[in-house]
Amino acid sequence: MPLKEAALKHLRGILGPGRLDVEIEGRACNAYDATGQIHTPDAVAYPETKDEIAAILRLANAMEFPVAPRGAGTGMTGGCLAVQGGLVLSTARMRRVVSLDPANMVARVEPGVVCGRFQEEVEAMGLFYPPDPSSAAFSTLGGNVAECAGGPRAVKYGVTRDYVLGLEAVTGAGACIRCGVQTAKGVVGYDLTRLITGSEGTLAVITQITLRLLPKPASTLTMTAVYDSVEDAARTVSAIFQAGIVPCAIEYLDQAALVCAEDYMRAGLPTDAGAVLLLAADGSLSQTREDAARLEEVCRFRGARAFEAAGEKTEKLWAARKSLSPALFRHGPHKINEDIVVPRSRIPEMVRKINEIRERTGLVMVTFGHAGDGNMHVNIMLDKNNPGALEKADKAVDEVFALTLALGGTISGEHGVGATKMRWFGQEIHEEERALMLAVKRAFDPKGILNPGKIFG
């Protein structure tokens, strides 16, 4: 369904000529995301208001062309890609923090606000926006809501969903809606807010977000626990919770991840270790110190050969952790990145079996992630141009997903299904639930113009 000249003319009428890009350079800049797939749209729209977005979507319904909403293009599953061509609707010109209300600890933002900048802005006021996807320096809050982004702090503070109080959005049908509340609580009618959150841009284009904030914790301490045995590290994770501690991060890095991070950042991580847990505690100064001492106790008891407060190395360690996703490319030009979740107690079994798959297949597999949530990023690095490489990797992914589901897990903790996981969607979501989801989709987007070719296949 390429965009016809008549549609482009209408779009120019809605946006003015300066905010519709049909040149190849602009289209190419909106053709990618973190999957490495390229889908060049026919045009890119840069609306600035919800009325413009509504006009675009009504036009898309009338003339039946696909619209792919796009934040910063940092997604891991192709959620923002125009896989069926048509229009990319970029939120790059909707970057206003509409209001920031410290008395009520609530902010209203446009979807194109970059997560990391927003965090800096609220922290300067003594406030705190916990969701911290590794992409936070680039990714937008609109994209974070659409994907229900997580991050290391989710283990204590929850995911994006837990901070979205209300939304303004335009449905696929072009209706402007406002759902949720501006208050701490609200239960009037069905929860459209959380229905749209995590719907990967397939139900509505988000035009404004009301976010809940917290007071900024007085102190944070980062620590590393170094293990010879991968399984000892994995077993520590549930032991921490069973000791009654709720740290604000429990990140796991296996040896391959440690080597990658060290090559890239020289943060002083031990590349000879089987695995490292990167831990953080926050709260009042006394609470943080108490938690840190107890974390050391649990980690050492569970076999950590070393336990260190990060001190001055804190920023560097987190930068190393956050750089892992791009750093992996030294192992191969292509990456398959899955973000499975298993119950915390099953992490030891999961990492053991992933190692078995790696040894058996000879694939380059690097595992790291938010172990506190049981959310592991399993990465397979490859060169797709090598004959058979992709098939072999895909088979390993099949195995990883089957194992995940058998252990009571889910195939995505924070990246979504998008275009890249559709093949496995049916293994987790059965026909009855899929039918309900599709009925919901039809209610919001009867003509299916919004982000087609995602989630459901």
Site for its own copies in 190-229 (CB under 8 A): 190-192, 194-195, 197-199, 203, 214-216, 218
150 lines the binding site for its own copies (CB under 8 A):
yes
Give the per-residue contact string, 248-287, with its own copies (x = CB under 8 A; - = no). Answer: -----------------------------------xx-xx
Instruction: Report angle CA 188, 191, 192 to the nearest 5 degrees.
Output: 115
> Total binding residues for its own copies by CB under 8 A?
95
User: Judged by CB under 8 A, which of 242, 311, 333, 406 binds its own copies?
Assistant: 242
382 lines the binding site for its own copies (CB under 8 A):
no
Buried/exposed code over 119-133 (b: 16+ C-beta within 10 A; e: otherwise): bebbeeeebbbbbbb
Choose one: 22-30, 44-52, 179-187, 348-356; the region binding its own copies (CB under 8 A): 179-187
Choose one: 2-10, 42-50, 152-160, 221-229; the region binding its own copies (CB under 8 A): 152-160
Provide the 10 A C-beta neighbour count for residue 224: 24
- Type and span of the H or E element at 393: helix 389-406
- Contact predicate 91/69, CB 8 Å: yes
Segment 92 to 111, residues that bind its own copies, using CB under 8 A: 101-106
How many angstroms separate the most distant Cα atoms in the chain?
70
Dist CA 127 CA 324 (whole Å): 28
177 lines the binding site for its own copies (CB under 8 A):
yes
User: Judged by CB under 8 A, which of 341, 354, 363, 419 binds its own copies?
Assistant: 341
Choose one: 18-26, 68-76, 169-177, 224-232; the region binding its own copies (CB under 8 A): 169-177
- Contact predicate 193/167, CB 8 Å: yes
Q: CB of residue 370 vs its own copies: minimum separation in angstroms?
A: 8
- Contact predicate 203/445, CB 8 Å: yes
Q: CB of residue 191 vs its own copies: minimum separation in angstroms?
A: 5
159 lines the binding site for its own copies (CB under 8 A):
yes
Buried/exposed code over 324-356 (b: 16+ C-beta within 10 A; e: otherwise): bbebbeebbebbbbbbbbbebbbbbbbbebbbe
Nearest of 145, 150, 158, 50 to residue 96 by alpha carbon: 50
Helices (H), 69-130: 115-123
Sign of CA dihedral 193, 195, 199, 204: negative
34 lines the binding site for its own copies (CB under 8 A):
no
Output DSSP code: residue 270: -
Listed in order, strand segments (DSSP E) in 149-239 are 164-171, 176-180, 204-212, 214-215, 219-227
**Between residues 284 and 386, which has the closer beta carbon with respect to its own copies?**
284
**Between residues 254 and 291, which has the closer beta carbon with respect to its own copies?**
291
Give the per-residue contact string, 45-84, with its own copies (x = CB under 8 A; - = no). Answer: ----------------------------------------
Segment 401 to 420, residues that bind its own copies, using CB under 8 A: 408-417
Segment 289 to 318, residues that bind its own copies, using CB under 8 A: 290-291
User: Judged by CB under 8 A, which of 343, 356, 383, 395 binds its own copies?
Assistant: 343
Choose one: 268-276, 319-327, 330-338, 423-431; the region binding its own copies (CB under 8 A): 423-431
Which of helix, strand or coil describes residue 104? Answer: coil
Measured between its terminal Cα atoms, the distance across the chain in Å is 17
Q: CB of residue 121 vs its own copies: minimum separation in angstroms?
A: 17
User: Judged by CB under 8 A, which of 245, 248, 324, 365 binds its own copies?
Assistant: 245
Nearest of 75, 42, 78, 74 to residue 60 by alpha carbon: 42
Choose one: 256-264, 308-316, 326-334, 433-441; the region binding its own copies (CB under 8 A): 433-441
